[in-house]
Amino acid sequence: MGRLGTFRQIKAVEVDGELADEATVDFGASDVATALHASPAGVLSKPVDGDIAICVELEGGEYATVGYINVNFENPAAGGEVYLYARGGEELDEVAKIHIKASGEILVSNGSGNFKLASNGVFSANGHLTVEAPT
């Protein structure tokens, strides 16, 4: 069975002798639980307070998070694309992003600059530097 709840905090815990992250999730009406925080292999990230946690119930009544929803963010990715971003500052604004587009373009930016690897291999940075693809 799946449940949605509001993420509150995350902390490191020991599970079967290994370190793992454990999230505190508020399901409402004084129903607060802990859940193992799961991420895709090779991806380490942590949600922020107020994100919606998607939880699944495990054997024994325990929970694991299988994803989070940032309710203050409109996803710019089209079908087949990947959009990674980091949030920071007081307002938890997007501070850095990587957009892997279905066209083959890769766009990377933060508040200080950007670069693009076009689908034809041309690399450009901040609109001032362009490196042509080898022929």
- What span, in angstroms and rounded, lies between the C-alpha atoms of 65 and 35? 6
- What span, in angstroms and rounded, lies between the C-alpha atoms of 78 and 60? 38
Strand duo 93-100 + 106-110: pairing: antiparallel
More confident residue, 128 or 79: 79
- What span, in angstroms and rounded, lies between the C-alpha atoms of 59 and 116? 46
Model confidence band, residue 76 (pLDDT cutoffs 50, 70, 90): very high
pLDDT at 10: 94
pTM of the model: 0.81
- Looking at the predicted structure, is the pLDDT value of residue 128 above 90? no
Q: CA-based angle 59:62:65, to the nearest 5?
A: 110
* Both tokens assigned to 112: 């200080």
pLDDT at 130: 87
CB 70 within 8 A of CB 49: no
Model confidence band, residue 39 (pLDDT cutoffs 50, 70, 90): confident
* Both tokens assigned to 15: 């599970």
CATH class of the region 2-69: mainly beta
Mean pLDDT, all residues of the chain? 93
Model confidence band, residue 44 (pLDDT cutoffs 50, 70, 90): confident
Amino acid at 129: L
The tens digit of pLDDT for each residue in 89-123 reads 888 889 999 999 999 999 999 999 999 999 999 99
